[in-house]
Structure 1
């Protein structure tokens, strides 16, 4: 029997007996590593633990691209702190006189009207979230004690006219 240079038995047509076709496609690494226990990750660590560090480790070093791309401005400071800045110093929620008795409630107001007592209810505006009392509207002719941080001149005059008192609270 005639043989070729590789020792393969050739047929009359000249083709090899096994007819193997070699492809130029490179085998993937995962396929190459099949059958090897460590699979390329060594004997001791065995591809465990934290190779890149825990959590946000390496944000300025080996994970910098990720931090710069997805979390810009995470590191560093900007500008100067103003130690004497009073934040929201103009925050001053206001309420008008015509809404003042709505804070007391309808039941309490009816009870006070029914009694005709000389006791004046105390309305603490700061407790209800208001700082300043403005003078729009009318008050019923009942004395009332109002605590607030600020009063407008009109509001103060109207409360005093009704026999009430304005108390400044800190």
Structure 2
């Protein structure tokens, strides 16, 4: 004989009992047994239910201030190692150009980055224009014979 798979075990309790321990039939049927219709009692006797299952119902958790997207400034950063891998492609596309003194000049704003980070090494001297750069990145570029030119970002934004 095959058994039928069930989510819960079939209950054998209260079988043969007409009202399953609730006394009168109406004690288990209407809304009085749950403490009122709808959201009645959610600020009184059902408050613990609200805090457990609907914490945002009365505005809890939505306090504070969030800056609008138009005002927020996203920081897109790139490491020196990643930039070094991109140099041949940037030279081909014309975004970066090689100067007479052997340094490669590049504006990171043109490729969508506004911060330079110092992880990794560079294989050639680079002269990079960027809004902000870490101290580690600046020292690594200067030790290779390159440099960083800090440009002005949007003046009305903090940063």
TM-score, normalised with respect to structure 1? 0.41
Larger radius of gyration: 1
The structure whose residues are more often helix, as a share, is 2
Alignment TM-score, normalising by the size of structure 2: 0.43
